[in-house]
Structure 1
Amino acid sequence: MKKAILFFTVTLLFSTILTGCGIDLNRLGAEKYYIQVKGDGDKKDDGRQDIYDYTLTGFNEDGEEATLEFFALKELRKDAYLILYYKDKKGVTSYQEVNEEDIPEKALEKLQEGVK
């Protein structure tokens, strides 16, 4: 029992330290995909607030393609570039808007091919 309490305490302390240092646990160990917002999200009302569902094609830093589904609590800016953090078991866990120059070359090439 003492080991379980110690383990729980250490785990809680470790996650508190990481969160306090500005480390987002939803991004830790996640694969990064880059997308460009095209079109409107599918607006849904969950009874408390509007949610926007998106299904977009993204590319990792090697230019490998993936179709990614995620939601946002606001409508995303059209043509904005985003980095999506993806985990196999959880799907997209987080996202953040980025500048075009922050996107790896192979991923940017693939995103721009889709524009033509």
Structure 2
Amino acid sequence: MLKRMVFMSITGIIFMSLLTGCSYVGKFFTETYYVKIEGQGTKERDAFQYTLKGFKENGEEKTIQFITNDDKPIKEGTYLKITADEDKGANKKTPDKISLINGYEEVKSEDVPEKIKEKLK
């Protein structure tokens, strides 16, 4: 009986670990781009759409198009770090453009690599 309980517990722990791990697999295949907000974006209902040039740390440039769910535009001159999966359907169809992002976060100017900051001026 004790062996059976130990076996079931270990099996449960392994199963839960696999489930948790699978939710993070996609994060290994994402790309990071840096953009600088220029202009106010285009207002669409309760959101704003932006089309900006973005750069990976290796200097590769892509057009990044995304929509925020905020009722106010992002302040002009703000740097954003955007994560996107290039293998998602919409992004595969347009290799020079990312239109489906995973998320974005505001970053300080000093956290943006210098060579990218130069390209975003």
Length-normalised TM-score, structure 2: 0.66
The percentage of aligned residue pairs carrying the same residue is: 35
5+ unaligned residues in a row in structure 1: which ranges?
1-5, 19-24
Instruction: Tell which deviates more after alignment, 26-35 or 86-95.
Output: 26-35
In structure 2, distance between residues paired with 1:73 and 1:87: 20
Instruction: Tell which deviates more after alignment, 85-94 or 31-40.
Output: 85-94
Larger Rg belongs to: 2
* Closer/same/farther in 2, CA of residues 28 and 73 from structure 1, 3 Å limit: farther
- For residues 83-112 of structure 1, the C-alpha deviation after alignment (integer angstroms, 9 at most, x for no partner) is 111111343110000011111122111112
Contact 1:58–1:68 (8 Å) recurs in 2: yes
In structure 2, distance between residues paired with 1:28 and 1:51: 29
1:21 counterpart residue number: none
1:101 counterpart residue number: 110
Specify which structure has the higher proportion of helix.
2
Q: Verify: 1:64 aligned to 2:60, yes or no.
A: yes
In structure 1, distance between residues paired with 2:26 and 2:68: 15
In structure 2, distance between residues paired with 1:107 and 1:99: 13
Length-normalised TM-score, structure 1: 0.69
The alignment of Structure 1 onto Structure 2 pairs a total of residues equal to 96
* Closer/same/farther in 2, CA of residues 28 and 77 from structure 1, 3 Å limit: farther
1:73 counterpart residue number: 69
* Closer/same/farther in 2, CA of residues 28 and 68 from structure 1, 3 Å limit: same
Q: Verify: 1:41 aligned to 2:41, yes or no.
A: yes
5+ unaligned residues in a row in structure 2: which ranges?
1-11, 89-99
